[in-house]
Structure 1
Amino acid sequence: MSGFDGRLQAFKERKEETIRNKHMYYLNEIQAHEGQFVVIGGKKYLNFTTYSYLGLLGHSKINEAAKAAIDRFGSGTHGVRILAGTTSIHVELENRIAAYKKTDDSIAYSSGYVTNLSTISTLTGNGDEIFCDMINHASIYDGCLLSRAKFTRFKHNDMEDLENHLKNSKAIGKLIVVDAVFSMDGDIAPLPKIIELARKYDCLLMVDEAHSLGVLGETGHGILEHFGLKEGIDIQMGTLSKTIPAVGGYVAAKKDIVDLLKYNARAFVFSAALPPPAAEAARVSFDVLEEEQWRLERLRDNISYYIKSLNQAGFDTGESQTAIVPIILKDEWMTLETTRLLFEEGVFIMPILPPAVPPNTSRLRANVTASHTREDIDYMVDALSRVWKKLGMR
C-alpha cells in the first residue's frame, strides 16, 4: 500500500468510526433558511452556527439587488478581472468598500481564504519577516507559509512577546498580521498597542476583519472604530460572506498597495471574477448595514445577555466579547456527545476540536446574532443545561 493509499484508508476508518458513534455533524444539507432557524432533514433547528451576525442573509433589498444584477450582466462574467471580468458592478463594489473603510481604494477577491493567502504572499518574500498571532486564521498561516518570508508566531495577544520578536528582527521588510476578532475564541486584538509597535519598529500592519465588520464599533465599522481610532492599519482585510451575506473577500488600503495586488496577486489575476449578483449583493449590504443600525444594537444586547446567561448557568465562555461565543467543554468526547444531544433538542451547533483548537480546549462555537430573540437564547442555555445533566455533568 502506498503512502497515499494509507492516508485514504486511515481517513476512511476514522470517518466510519465517527458515523458509528453518531458524531458526524459536518456537511449537513441545509434545505431552507427561515430567519434564525434552518431546516435539516425536514426538521427545523434553532441556528447557533451562522456567520450572519446582523441577520442580513435573505434581506429583501439585498436579494432584489442580486436579481437585478443577473438581469443586467447574467450569472457570471467573461473571465478573470484583469482581462474581461471587470464589470461596472465590480468597480462600484470596490468603491463602496473603500468609502466604508475610509481608504484610497480596495480590491475584491473570490473568497476570504484566497484574500489572505494571496495578499500576504504577494506583499512579502525572501528577506522579509511576518509576525503572526499564534491563533490567527488558517488562511493567514497559509499565506505566511506561501510567502517564503521568515514566519514568526507570537503568543496570543501577548504584546511583550511580539515586541521581543520585533527587537530581534533583522528583516528587510516586516509585516504584523492579526485577526481583529479571533475566530475560535471571540476575543479582540489589542489594536492600539499593536499599532504602537508597528510604528516603533517600522512594520506594515494587516488586520483581518472577517468577524469584526458589522460587530465592532459604535456603527459597526470595525476594530478601528471600536478603539476610537481613525487610522493605523495599513491593510484592512475582510470578507463578504459573514455580516455581508454574499461571497468573497477584500483588502482596503492606499492606492499603491491595491494597484500592486491587482496586477500581482495570483489569486486575483488567475481567478474568475466574483459573479455579478454576489458582488452587487455585497455592495448593497454595506448600505443596509449603515441604514439599519437597530440590528447592531440588538446584536450588542444579545451578545451581553447570551454570555451572561451561559456564565450564570456555569459554562466557560473564555474571553469572548463578541458574537463568536465559545462554550469550552475541554473533553473531546463530551463535546461531541453534547453536540449530538443538542441536535436532539432542536439546536444546530458545531463542535470545534483539536487541532483547530489546542488540546483539552474542545468547545462548541455558539454564535449569536441580531436575529435571535431572548426566548431563543433562553432555550439554548436551558437545552445545554439539560444535556449536561443527562450526561452527568451537573
Structure 2
Amino acid sequence: MSVVFERPSLWQRLRPVFSGFDLPLMLGLMVLAVLGMVTMYSAGFDHGTRFVDHGRNMLIAGLVLFAVAQISPQRLMQLAVPLYTLGVALLIATALFGITKKGATRWLNLGIVIQPSEILKLAMPLMLAWWFQKREGQLRTLDFIAAAGLLLLPVGLVVKQPDLGTAILILSGGLYVIFFAGLSWRLILPVVLAAAVGIGALVSFGDAICEPDVKWPLLRDYQKHRVCTLLDPSKDPLGKGFHIIQGMIAIGSGGLTGKGLMQGTQTHLEFIPERTTDFIFAAFAEEFGLLGVLTLIATFSFVLLRGLTIAAEAPTLFTRLLAGAITLSIFTYAMVNMGMVSGILPVVGIPLPFISYGGTAMTTLGLALGMLMSIARSRRLMQS
C-alpha cells in the first residue's frame, strides 16, 4: 500500500503570509496613497524627480508595512527596551558628536548620516506600552511618574538640538500611551485649563510680549518669532510670514471645487514655499478646493476610526496602548500640518502623511502602520 502526499500549491504556501490583513484599513491607506501620488504629480512634475521618487518612497513604505505586519506583537514587545535604549544612546551621541547644520545639531555620522530622533517616534510608544503591560493590574501613581520620566528624557534631548517639531511628535506619542493607560482626568484637566489660559493670554497680549526686547523662557528667538508671526503674519510678510500668507491665499483661492489638477497659480508660479513637502496641503487645497479637503479629512478620519477600532479589539494591554498611540500620532501629524499651513498653528516642519515628499518620514510611516497591521492580523489569525 503506497501513500501519496499532495504537494501544496504556491498559493497555499503563500496564503498565511497574506491572510489576516485588515481590509478596511488597507482601503483607507490606498485612497491616501492615490491622493498623495496625484498631488505630487501636480506639485512636483517640474521639480526634478520628485514625483518618481515619491512613488519609490511609497513603494518602500508599503514593503516595510508588509514586512513588519508579519512580526507578532509579542516580538514587537521584546524590541521595545532595546530600541528605546538605542534611540536615547544615539541622541546622547548626537548631543556630543553630532553634525550641526543651520544652528541645529540633529544628525549623526555612523558611516551614513542619520537623524536619531526619528527612531524615538516609534520607540517611545513601544517602550511605554511595554512599561504599562508589565504593570497591568497593579498600576500606581509612581508608575505614571516613571513613565513621564521615560518620556521626558528623549523629548528634552530633542528639544535641546533644537527640533521642536519632532519633540512635539515624540511627546504626543508618549502622552497618548499614558492617557490610554488610565491617567486620571484630575491630572489632565488642570493641564488643559492652563494651556487654554496660556493661549488666551498669548492672543490677548501678543503685541506686548512679541516686542524684540522681550525674552521668552525655554524658547529660542526663532521659535518666539514663529509664534509671533502666527499671531500676525503681516509683521514679516517677506520673511517668516510669507509662508503663512501664501498658504492661506492658496487655500482660499481654491474655493469650493478648486482650480483643477495642475491649474493652481500659487503653486506653479512658485509662490508657495516647500510646495512638495511641508506646504503641499496648500497646493492640494488650491487645486481640489473645499470638496477635496473634506475628502482628505474624511479619509484620515476613516483611518483614525479604523485604527481606534483595532486598538479597542486588541487582545492585550500592550497591543491596545500601542495601536491607540500609533493611530492618534498619525492623525496628529495630519492635523498639525494642515493647521500650520492654514495659519492656525505655528510652522514646525511636520509632513502631511502620504502626501508630503520625504523618504525618512515615509519609511517611518510604513513602520508605524506595519505595527498597527500586525496587531490587527494577530487578532484575526487568533479567531480563524
TM over 0.5, shorter chain: no
Higher relative contact order structure (alpha carbons within 8 Å, sequence separation ≥ 6): 2
Alignment TM-score, normalising by the size of structure 1 = 0.23
Higher strand share: 1
Higher helix share: 2
Larger Rg: 2
